[in-house]
Structure 1
Amino acid sequence: MRYLLKYSAALLLCFVALSSCRKEPSYPDEPQIEFERVDVNYTTEFGITTANMTIVISYKDGNGDLGLNPLVSTPGGSSDPDSQAPFNPGSPYEKNFIAELFIKEPVFGSATDSAFVRYQLPVQGFDFSGRFRRLTNDERSEPLEGEIRYSLSSITNEFFKPGDIIKFQIFIYDRNTPIPNKSNIVETRPIKLTFKE
Structure 2
Amino acid sequence: MRRQLIQPYLFVFGIALTLSACFNEPNYSDTPEIEFKEVSPPYTIEAGTGIGKQKRDSVIITIGFKDGDGNLGNDVPVPKADSARYVSNGNWGNYKIRTFRLVNKKYEEVNLQENRILYFPDLTKGKPKGAIEGTLEFRQIYYYGNRFRRYPVKYQIQIRDRALNQSNVIETDTVTVAFPEN
What SS is found at the alignment partner of 2:12? helix
Q: TM-score, normalised by structure 1?
A: 0.73
What SS is found at the alignment partner of 1:84? helix
User: Gapped runs of 5+ residues in structure 2?
Assistant: none
Q: Is the counterpart of residue 37 in structure 1 residue 25 in structure 2?
A: no
Per-residue CA deviations over 1:48-97 (Å, capped at 9, x if unaligned) read: 3211122111100000000111235xxxxxxxxx4314656854466211
Per-residue CA deviations over 1:24-71 (Å, capped at 9, x if unaligned) read: 100001100011112232112268321112211110000000011123
Question: 1:83/1:11 Cα in 2 relative to 1: closer, same or farther (>3 Å)?
Answer: farther
Matches within 5 A, 1:58-69: 58-69=64-75
Question: 1:65/1:99 Cα in 2 relative to 1: closer, same or farther (>3 Å)?
Answer: same
Letter in 1 for 2:124: T
Superposed structure 1 runs of 4+ greater than 3 Å apart: 1-9, 85-94
Matches within 5 A, 1:76-155: 82-85=79-82, 87=84, 90-91=87-88, 92=90, 95-106=93-104, 114-121=105-112, 126-129=113-116, 130-138=118-126, 140-153=128-141, 155=142
Contact 2:71 2:161 survives alignment (8 Å): yes
What SS is found at the alignment partner of 1:161? strand
Identity level (%): 26
Question: 1:3/1:86 Cα in 2 relative to 1: closer, same or farther (>3 Å)?
Answer: same
Letter in 2 for 1:99: I
In structure 1, what is the Cα distance between the partners aligned to 2:162 and 2:86? 15
What value does the CA root-mean-square deviation take over the aligned residues?
A: 2.9
In structure 1, what is the Cα distance between the partners aligned to 2:2 and 2:59? 63
In structure 2, what is the equivalent of residue 76 of structure 1? none
Per-residue CA deviations over 1:82-123 (Å, capped at 9, x if unaligned) read: 4314656854466211110001121xxxxxxx13221255xx
Contact 1:61 1:144 survives alignment (8 Å): yes
Pick from 123, 146, 160 the counterpart of residue 173 of structure 1: 160
User: Gapped runs of 5+ residues in structure 1?
Assistant: 73-81, 107-113
What displacement does 1:181 show? 0.7
Contact 1:67 1:132 survives alignment (8 Å): yes
Q: Comparing 137-146 with 7-16, which one deviates more in the overlay? A: 7-16
Count of residues in correspondence between the two structures: 170
Question: 1:67/1:89 Cα in 2 relative to 1: closer, same or farther (>3 Å)?
Answer: closer
Question: 1:120/1:173 Cα in 2 relative to 1: closer, same or farther (>3 Å)?
Answer: closer
